[in-house]
Amino acid sequence: MVPNPTTALSDPDRRILALLQQNGRMTTQELADAVGLSTSACWRRVKALEESGVIDRYAAIVNARKAGFGLSSMVHVSLARHERKNVDQFIREVLRHPEVLECFATSGEADFHLRVVVRDIDAYNEFLDSFIFRLPGVSQVRSNIVLKEIKADTALPLG
């Protein structure tokens, strides 16, 4: 069964997704046993979730600090004018920079909110000077340095 994006996920699909969010390396057999399906039925459901885009990709979650990224910042960027070429260039450049882990176009005070990770404050200053401050149309940049991570989860609340 291929999930329809306009309808809710079935209960077995929700259980499969919840388990895979906890451990993406589970074998199909382990997953099937945990959900109460046959291995082939479970495999078909996982394949359908992948093909429909509900499962976007599989990834390892890396501890930023232990991997040498000691500074995290929330960066709020406002554009002076919302000319299409400036917005398009901003988006293209953000996509090119691996330090930007997330970028959201939002309503409110800032036009874009970025989550950025770098080694240290010097690397962050270099990121701002060589990238953000040089983009055409950027009128204001506010940084909030993350002092302590309270919650960082990637799992959706599937119930």
Q: Where are the domains of the chain?
A: 1-61, 71-145
The whole-number pLDDT of residue 7 equals 57
The whole-number pLDDT of residue 27 equals 97
CA distance 118 to 126: 10
Is the separation of the CB atoms in 72 and 146 below 8 Å?
Answer: yes
CA distance 15 to 19: 6
Is it true that 1-61 and 71-145 share their CATH fold? no
Q: Which residues does the chain have with pLDDT short of 70?
A: 1-7
* Contacts by 13-16, CB closer than 8 A, 24 or more apart: 13/45, 13/49, 13/54, 14/158, 14/159, 16/42, 16/45, 16/46, 16/49
CATH code of the region 1-61: 1.10.10.10
Quickly name the fold that domain 71-145 has. Answer: Alpha-Beta Plaits (3.30.70)
SS3 assignment, position 116: strand
CA distance 105 to 113: 7
**For 34-71, what is each residue's pLDDT tens digit?**
999 999 999 999 999 999 999 999 999 999 999 999 99
pTM listed for this prediction: 0.86
